């Protein structure tokens, strides 16, 4: 039987909605009502979301900007809490959610690798064993002892990906943060992610690159207007998404992403 590692049960997530109140006088004139409006207005980012991700599965999340993809990953990572419903996660999370998130600017690259590894639940020794591989993959040899704050955004992105991909991830969460890396590095990342195919690592990938989703993922979730629009086979979902957007695209999963056009590997 397939073991589910991520379960969403009727999940709702709202953010406070900040109103622009015109004029202090107006605001004070009807103070209780205005205060109530500010405090209670919520913006619903996710509405009644239900899905499961199984161990070892490569799972894509697609949808337009603002649909709720990053919110979904934030809930899985535990950095956000649902307002209603349940999010159940079984396993160690390796999140790559935002550029530089989880990195301390005053610490060196090396120190940040150790910090992240330990926060992900590995021992110092386990992190040390992977250190060279992580540095090599991130191509930061000369900079690795420098403080992160002097890194370019591309360097931060390379280190971020390298850390989560090499520290023995159980549940890997990737949120389109690779867009900042150059094309050669993006290809390297896609190649690395392909290595997880057939492994026990569960990968949840938010990406605007449909060819990457089709190529890397077994199943996909399409979120539209904060709700589940469709869930199923990655290729089918991507094709339906294209159709709805009126875009034609060759989405053959056999086509290796690393050999296709530049647009196909952009995250």
In the window 124-153, what residues touch ligand ADP (CB under 6 A)? none
Smallest gap, in angstroms, from Cβ of residue 68 to ligand ADP? 4
* Closer by beta carbon to ligand ADP, 89 or else 131: 89
40 near ligand ADP, judged by CB under 6 A: no
Question: Is 45 an interacting residue with respect to ligand ADP (CB under 6 A)?
Answer: yes
Task: Choose the one of Mg ion, ligand ADP, none that binds residue 67, judging by a C-beta under 5 to 8 angstroms depending on kind.
Answer: ligand ADP
Smallest separation (angstroms) from ligand ADP to the CB of 210 = 15
Q: Within 10 Å of residue 79's Cβ, how many Cβ atoms?
A: 13
Strand partners for 49: 11
- Told to check if 116 binds Mg ion by CB under 5 A, we report no
Examine residue 121 and tell whether it contacts ligand ADP (CB under 6 A). Answer: no
Cβ–Cβ contacts within 10 Å for residue 171, how many? 22
Contact 141, 149 (CB under 8 A): no
Asked if 56 contacts 201 with a C-beta cutoff of 8 angstroms, the reply is yes
Residue in 6, 53, 67, 220 binding ligand ADP, rule: CB under 6 A: 67
Dist CA 173 CA 71 (whole Å) = 12
The partner in contact with residue 65, picked from Mg ion, ligand ADP, none with C-beta cut-offs of 5 to 8 angstroms by kind, is ligand ADP
Nearer to Mg ion, 223 or 238 (CB): 223
Q: How far apart are CA 221 and CA 208, in angstroms?
A: 13
What is the contact mask toward Mg ion in residues 48 to 87, using x (rule: CB under 5 A)? ---------------------xx-----------------
What is the enclosing helix (H) or strand (E) of 134?
A: helix 124-138
Which residue of 53, 56, 58, 69 would you call a contact of ligand ADP, by CB under 6 A? 69
One residue of 56, 60, 68, 82 binding ligand ADP per CB under 6 A: 68
Residue 71 in the binding site for ligand ADP (CB under 6 A): yes
Structure tokens at 263: 């647009």
Tell me how far apart the alpha carbons of residues 55 and 1 are, in angstroms, rounded to a whole number.
11
Candidate list 28, 30, 66, 86; residue touching ligand ADP; CB under 6 A? 66
- Measured CA to CA, the distance from residue 29 to residue 191 in angstroms comes to 61
**Near ligand ADP by CB under 6 A, which window of 63-71, 155-163, 166-174, 251-259?**
63-71
Q: Which residue is nearest to Mg ion (CB)?
A: 70
For 71-74, the CB contacts below 8 A with 24+ separation are: 71/13, 71/45, 71/46, 72/8, 72/46, 72/206, 72/221, 72/223, 73/97, 73/173, 73/175, 73/204, 73/206
| Contact footprint for Mg ion (CB under 5 A) | 69-70
Which residues of the chain form contacts with ligand ADP (CB under 6 A)? Answer: 15, 43, 45, 63, 65-71
């Amino acid at each position: 039987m397939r073991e589910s590692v991520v379960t969403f049960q009727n999940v709702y997530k709202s953010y406070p909605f900040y109103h622009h109140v015109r004029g202090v006088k107006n605001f004070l004139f009807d103070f209780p009502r205005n205060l109530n409006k500010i405090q209670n207005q919520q913006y619903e980012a996710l509405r009644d979301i239900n899905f499961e991700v199984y161990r070892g599965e490569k799972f894509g999340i697609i949808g337009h900007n603002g649909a709720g993809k990053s919110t979904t990953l934030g809930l899985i990572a535990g950095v956000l809490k649902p307002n209603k419903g349940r999010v159940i996660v079984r396993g160690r999370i390796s999140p790559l959610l935002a550029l530089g998130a989880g990195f301390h600017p005053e610490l060196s690259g090396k120190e940040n690798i150790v910090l992240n590894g330990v926060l992900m639940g590995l021992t110092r020794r386990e992190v040390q064993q992977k250190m060279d591989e992580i540095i090599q993959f991130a191509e930061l040899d000369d900079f690795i002892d420098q403080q992160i704050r002097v890194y370019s955004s591309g360097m931060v992105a390379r280190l971020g990906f390298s850390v989560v991909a090499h520290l023995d991830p159980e549940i890997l969460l990737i949120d389109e943060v690779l867009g900042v890396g150059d094309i050669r590095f993006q290809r390297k990342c896609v190649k690395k992610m392909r290595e997880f195919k057939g492994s026990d690592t569960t990968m949840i990938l938010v990406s605007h690159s449909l060819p990457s989703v089709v190529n890397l993922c077994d199943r996909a979730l399409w979120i539209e207007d904060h709700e589940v629009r469709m869930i199923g086979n990655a290729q089918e979902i991507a094709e339906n998404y294209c159709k709805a957007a009126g875009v034609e695209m060759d989405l053959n999963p056999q086509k290796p992403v690393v050999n296709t056009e530049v647009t196909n590997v952009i995250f």
